[in-house]
Amino acid sequence: MYSPPTDAADQQRTLAAQDEAATALGVTIHGPPRWGHQGRTLGQPAHHPLHGPCWLRLTCTPADKTGGKLWDGTQDAATAFPTVNKPALHAVYDGTVRDKLAWRAELTQHVDTPVCSPEPVLSHELDLPGNWWNSLRADLETIATTATDRVAVRQQWIERAVPAHTGRPAPVIEHWQTAHGDCHFANLTTSGPVLLDFEGFGLAPAGYDPAMLYTYSLLAPKTAARVRTEFPVLNSLSGQAALLVVIADLLQSASRGDHPELTRPLRAMLTTLP
């Protein structure tokens, strides 16, 4: 969970956009707000007279950059993955442009079970039943085998980032599959699981979602070992390439101040890859 924007004007602008969206969608907001990374998103429980308990999520982007991958991800996922366990999308509202920022509100089904972790980096061990893992594997397989023209990871980025952040040659990815793109325990609920936050889904190296789930779990070694057991793709050549790509991604993020506690275990994991 992240803090509100440090600039009071940014916070007030976001809250004004949220009020506009709530009125347009006919919902009453209640409960504590949940801010996203760098204040880019704001989510809060809401109630709709027809749908009942809902979740109202607001996101913003420069007005001249609407229509990109992150902007349309939730809507695209609702159509692409009808059988995957995720919150149902009830409505979308595009709000007034404010200070050259465009705002989109997404009204989804409220999920009343907690996420497995409050942060992407798992800091405690999880004891999840076999049917939880079976359901997750089935959903990730459904996602992986669904055709899409969206792209989550590009070969060009791999060629730049892997050498820069790992010191390894960039792998040439031969097997691409659709990925959730942000698969960590803060986006998975304790029951189900329900998968959250599909905004970044798209093509990625095969095994990318299990690789991300594994690397974000390195500080909880028993859970990380369970991830490797449940997803044997991580022991394959394609899975090891996906691990290298994810390590580069997270090391790049750590160099910018995001989750620096992963730097040492990520460097250690690099030594285990061929």
Residue 17 clears pLDDT 80, i.e. is over it? yes
Mean local confidence (pLDDT), 251-273: 97
pLDDT in tens, 76-115: 999 999 999 999 999 999 998 988 889 999 999 999 999 9
Q: Which residues 6+ apart lie within 8 Å of 121 measured at CB?
A: 184, 216, 219, 259, 261, 262
Residue 181 clears pLDDT 80, i.e. is over it? yes
Q: Out of 58-62, 169-173, 233-237, which region has the weakest mean confidence (pLDDT)?
A: 58-62
Residue 69 clears pLDDT 80, i.e. is over it? no
| Domain limits, the chain | 8-109, 130-270
pLDDT at position 2, please?
66
Question: Which residue's entry shows tokens 């659709």?
Answer: 178
Instruction: Name the maximum alpha-carbon separation found in the chain.
Output: 56
Residue 52 clears pLDDT 70, i.e. is over it? yes
Residue 4 clears pLDDT 80, i.e. is over it? no
213 within 8 A of 204, measured Cβ to Cβ: no
pLDDT at position 6, please?
74
pLDDT category of residue 268 using cuts at 50, 70 and 90? very high
Please give the CATH number for the structural domain made up of 8-109.
3.30.200.20
Q: What's the mean pLDDT when you consider all of the chain?
A: 95
Fold of the domain built from segment(s) 130-270: Aminoglycoside 3'-phosphotransferase; Chain: A, domain 2 (3.90.1200)
The predicted model scores a pTM of: 0.93
pLDDT at position 36, please?
82
pLDDT in tens, 191-221: 999 999 999 999 999 999 999 999 999 999 9
pLDDT category of residue 1 using cuts at 50, 70 and 90? low
pLDDT in tens, 105-146: 999 999 999 999 999 999 999 999 999 999 999 999 999 999
pLDDT category of residue 37 using cuts at 50, 70 and 90? confident
Residue 56 clears pLDDT 70, i.e. is over it? yes
pLDDT at position 8, please?
82
Mean local confidence (pLDDT), 145-158: 98
pLDDT at position 99, please?
84
- What DSSP assignment string belongs to the chain? -BPPPSSHHHHHHHHHHHHHHHHHHT-EE-S--EE-GGG-EEEEEEEETTTEEEEEEEEEEEGGGTTSHHHHHHHHHHHH-TTSS-PPEEEEEE---BTTEEEEEEEEEPP-S-BS-SSSS--S-----HHHHHHHHHHHHHHHTS--S-BSS-HHHHHHHHHHHHSSPPP----EEEE-S--SGGGBBSSTTPB---TT-EEEETTHHHHHHHHTTTTSHHHHHHHHHH-GGGGSHHHHHHHHHHHHHHHHHHHTTS-GGGHHHHHHHHTT--
152 within 8 A of 179, measured Cβ to Cβ: yes
What percentage of the chain has pLDDT greater than the value 70?
Answer: 99
Label residue 7 exposed, middle or buried (CB < 10 Å: 0-12, 13-18, 19+): exposed
Which amino acid is located at 144 in the chain? Answer: A
